[in-house]
Structure 1
Amino acid sequence: MNTYLHRILCALIFSFLIVSGCTSSKNTTSDKRTPPPSSSSDGMKAYSSVITKEAKTDEGLFDVHWVKDKLYYEIPDSLLNREMLLVSRLAQVPTDYFGFFSAGSKTAEQVITFERQNDKILIRKQSYNAVAADTLPVYKSVKANNFAPVIAAFPIETMGEDSTTMVIEMTDFFTSDTEAISGAIGFLRQQYQVRRLDGNRSYIESAKSFPQNIEVRHVLTYNAGNPPSDEQTATLSMMMSQSMVLLPKEPMRPRYEDYRVGWFTVNQIDYGSDAQKAEEKSYIRRWRLEPKDPEAYARGELVEPVKPIVYYLDPATPTKYVPYIKQGVEDWNEAFEEAGFKNAVIAKEAPSPEEDPDWSPEDIRYSTVRWVASTIRNAVGPSVSDPRTGEIIESDIVWYHNHMRSYRNRLMIETGAANPAARKLKLDDDLIGETMRRVISHEIGHAIGLPHNMQSSSAYPVDSLRSGNFTQEYGIATTIMEYARQNYIAQPGDENIRFIRKIGPYDKYSVNWGYRVIPDAETPEDEKPVLDQWILDKADDPIYRFASSTGYDPSSQTEDLSNDPVQASTYGLMNLKRVVPNLIEWTSTPGEGYDDLEEIYGELIGQWARYAGHVSTNIGGVYQSRKSSDQEGVLYTPVPKDYQREAIGFLNEHVFSTPDWLLDKEILRRIEHAGALERVKNLQSRMLNDVMGADVMIRLNEAHTFDGDDAYAPLEMLEDLRRGVWSEIYEMTSIDPYRRNLQRVYLDNIENLFNTDEIRSFRGNVDVKNSDIRAFLRVELGLLQNDLERAQTRISDGLTRAHIEDALIRIDDILDAES
């Protein structure tokens, strides 16, 4: 063949390949086409040979077909590339499955899309961590640098009869070990020594399709070397629930978060913003509440939402507690009224199988309050949200049965001195019911978007919590989202006291800030000036402050009450001292032993530690204020010197002294043969570690650098601490075993600071070696050494003299090692 003819033939072949390629590409799009009735135009099986007459079909978002033991999805081409939220939950778990992974617990939440690639359908996991408007050039880079992983691929078995749908088999996706949707997540596989999934013992139980979602339940059975229960079976089985819901084509308008008002958020890096950086944008997580009557709403009238937030109670809920759970859900209506909505939150009992055979607590169409038969002592309030906008789609509150035990114990410990109703093991239904109600309210708060606000309790004056009128109207903290559970400040004789938390003024403020519709705003940017003004209007009132716990701010602590931690802990300690002598009587049950006494006594010691911790945080403490840059004033202010001294005084008097009130022989000889010495040492050690922490001394030193004599200098703090911990050598008295333990811990702490060059703290590592810390400690050791030598010649008690001799040797060893 000559060169000319060869070139023409090659060109013709090349052109044919191009045309063929274009034709093939066109067949992969969602354009409608009509294949012959008996077979597909591209070699696929005929529809009737895959979806046979025996098929059981459930119509909905995708038509779901059961053909014998195979599950098929029929996907409309109009839903290709549409974002869907896939939520994986544990529907049933084996006995003693790990921690909070109980029935109803979420194990994965991911946005997926179904995409066609030639003759396959891919499931891809989409991310909204990085975004840009698709009209901008940078959008191409965002896509290129955030390539969506393919978590599954399926051959297209056949095309629908009108060629607008594609059929894929999903059986293996649910019966194989697909880690993206499994309940045996990473660390649990290691803990239970999961080896492999047994396909013969794994199966799909049900698959149902609804207009906006598909619900699948399937059993996964693993071979496991160390299963949580039934070890002899070497088996781990669980029932999984997979909920796939279509996300709105028109997303809800998001609302920007502001760190001065606490909200859970979804966060994105917006590469399309005008900021000269990769700008992070955060939107609050909230339900889509829209007024039924916008005109009335704009006039300031209360109106119902188009779609209220509805929670269904688990049918497993004990009947006598149902009213309290319902009240706990609907308590939030008073806060939503502040935002202009009435009947915004509704609690319903779940329909019976006769009323709705399709109802399931795992169905993503329903938000639920689950009652879990578990020994876990907690409750949680997770939710599922659209990562594009923060719109909450569904949530499931989980109440663990044994959480009643926590509140039974703590009501006795914290309020028993002033509240006669709390002085028994079996509380009246009204009291435990009221407590449960407020726990549910707290968890619903999480589920509507609110995080913990640990600064709220510090807004109330300490003595206000001893006022019946005040506590009944305002509660014991400004928000139910604080870990301020019981009123431990009220004293015997205080009248009409509210002992349990409730919805407070901050809750109404934050719900209004997050949910009130701003009629004139058309974009999130339009809302910002209004939202900012709402914050500024309340900026000078401590009731409306928000902060999370930091470890250094005594106004933002967990489990605390009031604006005066020293006085509050004094009141709390006074009540503990009243409770201890009564514990045997309050916890005794005829015919039974002392297990309850041992448990509650142990938790009472933990409560004493909390009170001490609330005070110790003031040493080197720094108050935080959340402000924007256009507000006056600084954000961080050291705790005043006099108050820090007062805190050290409390610790020396009530924490580092021997707690004779706690060492009740009648109790201890009923619950143990020994242990009191070690128990007290451990508690006092924790407090001493807190006060002598490297980060504490760094903050003290910095405050002294800035403020001079107005600040509590590190050497002043160390002197006050030394004179408290070693008070016997200044008073020339004997040192008891508890105090000897404490003093040895004091020296151990100093030795550790000499031997450790870098110590990790709450806000990062502290470079001890190159700081002033060791210089301060050398001064203290020198002073203590002189004081011990002087006391050694004046104290006659033999054990005390031996202890002093040992302490002097330890000091020499520390200083010698350092030199």
Structure 2
Amino acid sequence: MKYLLLIVFGLSLQLGVAQDKPIKNLDSILNTMPKSEGLLTTYFDGDKLYLEFSKEALEKDLLMVTRLKQLPSNYSAYRNAGSKTSEQLIHLVKVGKSIDLIQVSTTNVADEDDPIQLSVAQNNLNPILVTFPIKSEEGENIVIEASSFFNSDSPSFNIIPDGLKKDYKIGKADDKRSRINSAKSFPQNTEITHTLTFPTDNPPRGNSTNTFTFQVNHSIIALPEDLMQVRYEDPRVGWFGLRKYNYSSDALKSDEVRLIRRWRLEPKNKKAYARGKLTEPVKPIVYYLDPATPEKWRPYFIKGIEDWNSAFEKAGFKNAIQAKIAPTAEENPDFSPEDVRFSTVRYVASTTRNAVGPSVSDPRTGEIIESDIIWYHNHLKSYRNRYLLETGAANPKARTLDTPEEEIGEMMRRVISHEIGHALGLPHNMKASSAYPVDSLRSGSFTQENGIATTIMDYARYNYIAQPGDENIRFVRQLGPYDDYAIEWGYRYFPNSSAEEDQKILKSFVDERSTDPMYMFGGRGNDPDAQTEDIGDNSVQASTYGLSNLRIVAENLEQWTTTSGQSYEDLEELYGEMLGVYRRYIYHVASVVGGVHETLLTKGQPGEPYQVVNKAEQEKALEFLNENVWTPQYWLIENALVSKFSKSGKLKSVISLNKRMLNRLMDADRLNLMWDTNSSLIGNGLSPQELLDRLAGDLVYGRTTPDQVERELQKYFAHQLKELMSDDGLALELKGKSLALQNELKSYVKTKKESENETLNAHYAYILNVLEEENKGSK
């Protein structure tokens, strides 16, 4: 006899019956409600939600994933539709007359036959998220009511981070403005969507309602009973992973291990695979395109997905990843994008300028179960604009806002490839864009064969280095050798071997390659070779080329964006983004100052993991900044351009940008880090004292008749010296240097403030006043 359990999600009173009493005639109630059968069979009529499942589901491993489906505008730059807020392994446990929903930890582990397993269990008691009282045990059914579980902000949902709750002064969810929206069930998952509304006393600009409303989706997913063999992380190869602590380790401690997240790929013909023959997988990775995807873009999406087949071939698989058009209701009435058995690429009509590649994985093994790539329609604008700004000088096809279809299609293809890479398990690899020599990126033959970075997983979107006259240039990114290497490492199949044996084989594979720049992995940190949005192995040279191109774009921006009879709205938008491009180029160079090269190594490999950037390189970076930042860049604010859309001008914007750059270089934490790394790491770097002296020379001593922009920077430099003296975190030795520099600057200013120019007299008097006030304050 099969036993069934029913969970009721709804109001605190059901049909006028108190919450702690049985519900009579439950069958007749359920028969009147829309039903959806599956993992948890749902009965939902808009007021009440009942879930029915087999008793066999008790204490089974289930995964509950919570995501934002819709969210308020201007809420957070780091959360958007599709963002995951929680992912937890859960059990339904019967305790007397109740069902407990338990969150199960998978972080602390031990071998089943190891006696320490008992201690692990005793010292890692799983929390009870909610208890559902049993209301009826009549016949074969058990009825459970869960009051307001999906109409409240359960801590387990993690809808709003504590920091944002504090910043926006968000109150508790308002149950009168919160509701369950829908419930659907499929063979391996159940989907529940609900709306939560919160009052807020400090909403973001533009929110006059003092209200945040979110639509939230919960996926309850059956996890595989046949566990996939794990693969241990090697930090020298970038991979999304899971952290665990193994208490059965031979090490004299709980041994931290990390498992990578990957799809389960096994060859159909294992004998042929073992002989080195390309073999199809038992279960390929299949993505279905959203029917809402415009037909003209579908071929590019398909190519972007299936581009990864070349990388999977390095791992021994053919046709490992496939793209298909989603079937119509007539072709397959059982198909749904919400069904966990189907991975999708969804095309969302939204003003959001983004694309994301989330996936769901088994927290026990790292097996990726499904993923849904999301493309937001307005992301087309992002790529159209940047294509013009970053390549227009050397690329005639980019000199328009009506980007040719094949050009924008190629960009979309590469964005989808990037997001698919995330869904395959690969994180960003910002180190990869520094592998290719800068001048090679001006070569048509090189860029056509190798692209502009060694991986699609870097933020190396466009070739901004190629100059006017360079021929046959590839301007858009593509997959590269690092992608082949990473996929082979993560997906190579080893029959009849343990995870530990696989780990030894793969270590040798990485040992042979990881010090080659073509295969290096690295995050951002303080390494100037691991920056976002940059390309080439020399930031100063690359940004010099980039700014040369950007000047040409600025001269032609109106012509390329605005036709006769059109408003200047697009011109204004592109101008704002052009300032952002300028900012990126100069910040790439600023990161060289005080930078530390990081190379991920294990003992026995040649080289040093951390080396200070050479002093000569840092001085070249400062020369670049002196020429392209401290020296006023009036080409950015040409009257003929800015007067088309601004009544106030943009001088203040450029000065503000330059001040932020100066603040970045004179930041106490950066100066402390330079002081520390020069004392502790290998290399001959620039000292913080030398940096401050150089800035004083470039900003003040070298500009005897400063104009209005230069005067603003000189005053800001004096203020920053003052701030350094009052910063308790600055090393005392550096405070001494700052005080000495202030005294030198004060002496210099005294000699300058008696000039015949009244403007300069007032300017130097102001600086002297700032410095003398600082000296008074330091006594």
Q: Would you say 1:803 and 2:779 are equivalent positions? A: no
Instruction: Name the residue aligned to 1:574.
Output: 548
Corresponding residue number in structure 1 for 2:9: none
- Cα deviation for residue 696 of structure 1 reads 3.3
Do 1:94 and 1:228's aligned partners in 2 also have CA atoms closer than 8 Å?
A: no
> Of 563, 577, 581, which aligns to 2:537?
563
**2:104 counterpart of 1:119:** no
Match of 1:678 among 648, 652, 664: 652
Aligned mates of 1:560, 1:122 — CA distance in 2: 51
1:360 is aligned to 336
Q: Distance in 2 between matches of 1:709 and 1:125?
A: 49
Counterpart position of 2:87: 109
| Alpha-carbon distance change, 255 to 170 in structure 1, aligned in 2, over 3 angstroms | farther
User: In the aligned structure 1, how far is the partner of 2:713 from the partner of 2:617?
Assistant: 24
User: How far did 1:96 drift?
Assistant: 7.7
Q: Structure 2 vs 1, CA of residues 180 and 168 (structure 1 numbering), >3 Å: closer, same or farther?
A: farther
TM-score by length of 2: 0.90
Alignment-derived partner of residue 258 in structure 2? 282
Match of 1:742 in 2: 713
The offset of 1:194, in angstroms, is: 6.2
Tell me by how many angstroms 1:277 deviates. 1.8
Confirm whether residue 202 of structure 1 aligns to residue 202 of structure 2: no
Segments of 5+ residues of structure 2 without an aligned counterpart are 6-20
Residues 260 and 545 of structure 1 are in contact (CA less than 8 Å); yes or no, is this contact kept in structure 2?
yes
Matches within 5 A, 1:595-606: 595-606=569-580
Structure 1 contact 94–229 (Cα < 8 Å) conserved: no
Report the Cα offset of residue 104 of structure 1. 4.5
Distance 2:774 2:170 in 1: 46
Structure 2 partner of 1:343:
319
Task: Tell me how far apart the structure 2 counterparts of residues 785 and 48 of structure 1 sit (CA, whole Å).
Answer: 87
Of residues 538-547 and 104-113 in structure 1, the stretch that sits farther from structure 2 once superposed is 104-113
Classify the secondary structure of the residue corresponding to 1:495.
coil
The answer (yes or no) to whether the contact 1:479–1:507 under 8 Å persists in 2 is yes
The letter of the residue matching 1:202 is R
1:461 paired residue number: 437
Distance change (3 Å), C-alpha of 1:798 and 1:175: closer
Q: Is the 8 A contact 1:263 1:449 kept in 2?
A: yes
Match of 1:788 in 2: 749
Distance 1:197 1:773, change over 3 A: same
**Pairing partner for 1:142 from 113, 116, 120:** 120
In 2: Cα distance, 1:792 partner to 1:709 partner: 42
Select the residue among 737, 749, 760 that pairs with 1:776: 737
Q: Does 1:813 align with 2:773?
A: yes
Cα offset for 1:394?
Answer: 1.2
Aligned pair partner of 2:142 in 154, 167, 170:
167
Q: Which one of the candidate residues 458, 475, 488 is aligned to 1:499? A: 475
Q: State how 1:532-571 maps to structure 2 within 5 Å.
A: 532-550=507-525, 552-571=526-545
C-alpha contact (below 8 Å) 1:371/1:400 kept by paired residues: yes
- CA deviation vs aligned residue, 1:469-506 (integer Å, no higher than 9, x gap): 11111111111111111110000000111111100110
Partner of 1:751: 722
Q: What pairs with 1:239-258 in structure 2 (closer than 5 Å)?
A: 240-258=216-234
Taking a change above 3 Å as real, the CA distance of residues 358 and 29 of structure 1, as seen in their structure-2 partners, is closer
User: Using the alignment, how far apart are the partners of 2:92 and 2:681 within structure 1?
Assistant: 62
User: Is structure 2 residue 409 aligned with structure 1 residue 433?
Assistant: yes
Measure, in 1, the Cα distance between the counterparts of 2:528 and 2:749: 34
1:10 is matched with which residue? none
Q: Deviations over 1:24-80 (max 9, x none)?
A: xxxx999xxxxxxxxxxxx99999957977787655445556799865444333332
User: Aligned-pair distance for 1:690?
Assistant: 2.2
Q: Is the 8 A contact 1:328 1:441 kept in 2?
A: yes
What amino acid is aligned across from residue 53 of structure 2 in structure 1? I
The 5 Å alignment of 1:4-23 reads none
How far 1:399 moved relative to its partner?
A: 1.4
Shift of 1:106: 3.6
Kept in 2, the 8 Å contact 1:460–1:562? The answer is yes
1:243 partner SS? strand
CA contact (8 A) 2:428 2:523 kept: yes
Q: Which residue of 2 aligns with 1:272?
A: 248
Q: Deviations over 1:73-119 (max 9, x none)?
A: 44333332110112234556678876676655444322111111123
Deviates more, 1:668-677 or 1:482-491: 668-677
Evaluate the alpha carbon distance shift between residue 560 and residue 222 of structure 1 in structure 2; reply closer, same or farther with a 3 A threshold: closer
**What is the rounded CA distance, in whole Å, between the counterparts of 1:78 and 1:548 in structure 2?**
45
CA–CA distance in 1 between the matches of 2:667 and 2:78?
33
Residue 385 of structure 1 contacts residue 392 of structure 1 at CA under 8 Å; is this kept in 2?
Answer: yes
Q: Output the CA distance in 1 between the equivalents of 2:683 and 2:175.
A: 72
5 Å matches for 1:34-45? none
Aligned CA distance change for structure 1 residues 626 and 709 (closer, same or farther; 3 Å): closer
TM value normalised by structure 1: 0.86
Structure 1 contact 367–394 (Cα < 8 Å) conserved: yes
When Rg is computed on C-alpha atoms for both structures, the one with the higher figure is: 1
The 8 Å contact of residues 616 and 647 in structure 1, kept in 2 or not, is answered as yes
Question: 1:70, 1:650 → 2: CA distance?
Answer: 66
**RMSD in angstroms over aligned alpha carbons?**
3.2
Asked if 2 retains the 8 angstrom alpha-carbon contact of 1:284 and 1:449, the reply is yes
1:352-431 to 2 correspondences below 5 Å: 352-431=328-407
Instruction: Tell whether the 8 Å contact from 1:97 to 1:228 is kept in structure 2 after alignment.
Output: yes
C-alpha separation in 2, matches of 1:91 and 1:604: 32
Relative to structure 1, the CA distance from residue 235 to residue 346 in structure 2 (aligned partners, 3 Å threshold; closer, same or farther) is same
Distance 2:176 2:327 in 1: 34
- Mind listing any 5+ residue stretches in structure 1 that lack a counterpart? 1-27, 31-42, 759-767
Report the CA distance between 1:712 and its aligned residue: 2.7
What is the deviation of 1:140? 2.3
Worse-matched range after superposition: 363-372 or 459-468: 363-372
Aligned to 2:16: none
Measure, in 2, the Cα distance between the counterparts of 1:801 and 1:231.
47
Asked whether 1:82 is paired with 2:60, we answer yes
Q: Give 1:361 shift.
A: 2.2
C-alpha separation in 1, matches of 2:319 and 2:240: 23
Distance in 2 between residues matched to 1:194 and 1:409, nearest whole Å: 40
Output aligned runs, 1:695-706, within 5 Å.
695-702=669-676, 704-705=678-679
Output one character per residue of 1:737-786: Cα deviation in whole Å (capped at 9) or x when no partner. 0000011111111110001112xxxxxxxxx1x43111222232233333
Q: In structure 1, what is the Cα distance between the partners aligned to 2:268 and 2:682?
A: 61
- 1:625/1:514 CA distance change after superposition, 3 Å: same
CA contact (8 A) 2:4 2:54 kept: no
Alpha-carbon distance between aligned partners in 2 of 1:285 and 1:407, rounded to the nearest angstrom: 30
**1:528 equivalent in structure 2:** 503
| Whole-angstrom distance in 2 between the partners of 1:738 and 1:682 | 10
Q: Which moved more, 1:712-721 or 1:469-478?
A: 712-721
Q: 1:192 to 1:425 in 2, by over 3 A?
A: farther
Give, in whole Å, the separation in 2 of the partners of 1:714 and 1:816: 25
Q: Distance in 1 between matches of 2:504 and 2:645?
A: 62
Cα distance change, pair 269–813 in 1 and its aligned pair in 2 (3 A): same
Native 8 Å contact 2:444 2:473 kept in 1: yes
The 2-side partners of 1:700 and 1:635 are apart by 17
**Gap change, CA 1:589 and 1:192, over 3 Å in 2:** farther
* Structure 1 residue 549, shift from structure 2 partner: 0.2
Give the letter for the 2:774 counterpart. Answer: I
User: Secondary structure of 1:670's match?
Assistant: coil
Q: Deviations over 1:566-604 (max 9, x none)?
A: 000100010011111101111113333212111111111
The separation in 2 between residues aligned to 1:594 and 1:66, in whole angstroms, is 52
- Conserved 8 A contact 1:100-1:376: no
8 Å CA contact 1:559–1:610 kept in 2: the answer is yes
Letter in 1 for 2:143: I
Structural mapping, 1:436-447, within 5 Å: 436-447=412-423
Shift of 1:628: 1.1
